[in-house]
Structure 1
Amino acid sequence: MGDLMGLNFRSIFEVTDDEWLSGLNLSKDEIPDVVILEGSWWRAERQALRLSALTDVRELGFPDIFWGKHGDKKVVFCMAYGAPRAVEISQMFAQLGCKLVIQIGTCGGLQSYLAPGDIIVPDHINCQDGVAEHYVARKTTRADAAWVNRAKSALTAQGRRVHVGRHITFSSLFAETVEMYERWHNEGALSVEMEAASTIAAAAKYGVPGVAMVVVWDELTAGRRFMDPMSPQNLAELEISNKAVFDAALTLTEEIL
């Protein structure tokens, strides 16, 4: 073992607020009220659509992180695919003192009564993504109960079918197996995706509430994955709900005090 005398190891957990603000080209009075993250392959399309709903938009000092306004509220939006990227955005802004972190995106449905376009608002999330586990004492994290209820109300007000319950965050869409689906189904989990646990767990480490709203795309109990054909009606429901989760995120933003 080498001699450690004189070395000064430093982790990301020790980066100061001022250092983050400098790197982000952000002033203290611009710290966002809400951070919205979305995981999707369709990055350019989704990013353009989401940012068009905000005003005063600008990219911050680190790439692909955008600051804007919704009314009088300050919002950060980032397309963050997978837990390793999502955790960076959530941790950074939770440390700086944002008031709410919201994860949106799509998921695979693990119960046969779920249809494309249904929306899952997880309350308990099982952390199997390889990242969230480093932020929790056990392998589960919880979305903030009050914001779960507000999210459900905002979505049902848009006529969406909403399910609140257990959810899985896993490390990779490509590494999921039929055996995993069967086990998660039998355990009563509603759905699986790749970001929510890390987004919420990292925020909770700094006392910031988090909530997720994810749209059912894959019908895993029927063997239908995202690459398989979908009926025109189901495709339309999926698109309506993809819009609804961002609209609901903006509604929650308006409710921040």
Structure 2
Amino acid sequence: MNADSEDPNADEQYHLEVSADDVAETVLLPGNPERLEKIVAHWDDHESRAHHREYRTATGTVEGTPISVTSTGIGSPSAAIAVEELARVGCKTFIRVGSCGALQPEMNVGDLVITTGAVRQEGTTAEYVREDYPAVADHEVVSALIAAAERLGYDYHTGLTMSADSFYAGQGRPGFDGFEAAGSSDLVDQLTEANVANIEMEASAICTLATLYGLRAGAVCTVYADRDGGEFRVEGESRAAETATLAVHLLAKMDERKREEGVDSWHAGLSLED
């Protein structure tokens, strides 16, 4: 059987319909294609490069730093396709930009959550690697996102994210007509007690694939759902986008500083302030 039946290594990628000339090395990954316009509003310039299925791609600059955005649709299966095909055309850093449900009582609707690692409750990564392999955000991406949130003055939290495959049953919500999946009634309490910060649907796949391929990844999400207080409200939608955009520029400065100092990894002894 020919494993290359869809020719995934062709120059123009099968699902995203992008090639190497269409994208920068660093890509923001929102789920919702409509969020793309809200992200590029924070850039200095941009140009649409592709739109196929749920995948919309644009490329531009922020303070001279090249930047791209590709929407992934909902869930880890489609997010993994985006990472696979973007990696094939030369992308090296991925930052999920999304929304989430917060689990810890000190978190409020509109706050940001910066992922440091993820609980792999989605099924996509099990098809790549053994179940005890960790989903970890790259420390440089986490540092850049924290620095960006600090500079912008946004309330933020860092911690573990749980990525689910289902918005309803997989996140402890009732299904149609009050259906409750086995264990769903205790899910939120168990995650809260384990000090998991938030729930969403893509971060663990993005981080796992990036680590497998020697690339960088992280995630920043705005809290829409307060799972502790029972509140859901779309507030601060642009905060994650603005934070991730600034983080891309800071990562570029961090990479430049590493080259100047002749080191391979960002560390606390380095500074972006001259």
Structure 1 and Structure 2 fold alike (TM over 0.5): yes
Q: TM-score, normalised by structure 2?
A: 0.76
How far residue 154 of structure 1 moved from its aligned partner, in angstroms, is 0.3
Equivalent residue, structure 2, for 1:4: none
CA RMSD of aligned residues (A): 2.5
Return the letter of the residue paired with 1:215. T
Aligned to 1:251, what secondary structure does the other structure show? helix
How far residue 190 of structure 1 moved from its aligned partner, in angstroms, is 0.8
Equivalent residue, structure 2, for 1:3: none
In 1, Cα distance between equivalents of 2:210 and 2:37 = 25
How far residue 185 of structure 1 moved from its aligned partner, in angstroms, is 0.9
Residue 135 in structure 1 maps to residue 131 in structure 2: no
In 2, Cα distance between equivalents of 1:120 and 1:191 = 7
Residue 69 in structure 1 maps to residue 60 in structure 2: yes
Equivalent residue, structure 2, for 1:147: 141
Please tell me whether the aligned partners of residues 97 and 240 of structure 2 are also in contact (alpha carbons under 8 angstroms).
Answer: yes
Q: How does 1:191-210 map to 2 (within 5 A)?
A: 191-210=198-217
Equivalent residue, structure 1, for 2:49: 59
Please tell me whether the aligned partners of residues 113 and 223 of structure 2 are also in contact (alpha carbons under 8 angstroms).
Answer: yes
Equivalent residue, structure 1, for 2:117: 124
In 2, Cα distance between equivalents of 1:191 and 1:185 = 9
Q: What is the total number of aligned residue pairs between the two structures?
A: 234
Q: How does 1:1-257 map to 2 (within 5 A)?
A: 7-10=1-4, 15-16=8-9, 18=11, 20=13, 24-26=17-19, 28-40=20-32, 43-44=33-34, 46-54=35-43, 55-60=45-50, 62-63=52-53, 64-70=55-61, 71-137=64-130, 138=132, 140-175=134-169, 176-177=171-172, 178-224=185-231, 226=232, 238-239=235-236, 242-254=237-249, 255-256=251-252, 257=255
Sort the Cα spacing of 1:9 and 1:39 in 2 relative to 1 into closer, same or farther, 3 A.
closer
Return the letter of the residue paired with 1:185. T
In 2, Cα distance between equivalents of 1:157 and 1:23 = 33
Answer 1 or 2: which has greater helix percent: 1
Return the letter of the residue paired with 2:25. D
Aligned to 2:191, what secondary structure does the other structure show? helix
Equivalent residue, structure 1, for 2:265: none
Question: Mean Cα displacement is larger for which, 134-143 or 205-214?
Answer: 134-143
In 2, Cα distance between equivalents of 1:161 and 1:203 = 27
Return the letter of the residue paired with 2:96. Q
How far residue 156 of structure 1 moved from its aligned partner, in angstroms, is 1.6
Task: Give CA deviations for 1:31-74 in whole Å, capped at 9, x if unaligned.
Answer: 4221111124xx43x23222344534123264432131113414
Residue identity (%): 22
In 1, Cα distance between equivalents of 2:198 and 2:15 = 38
In 1, Cα distance between equivalents of 2:12 and 2:57 = 18
Q: Which runs of 5+ in 2 are unaligned?
A: 173-184, 256-274
In 1, Cα distance between equivalents of 2:247 and 2:58 = 17
In 1, Cα distance between equivalents of 2:72 and 2:38 = 12
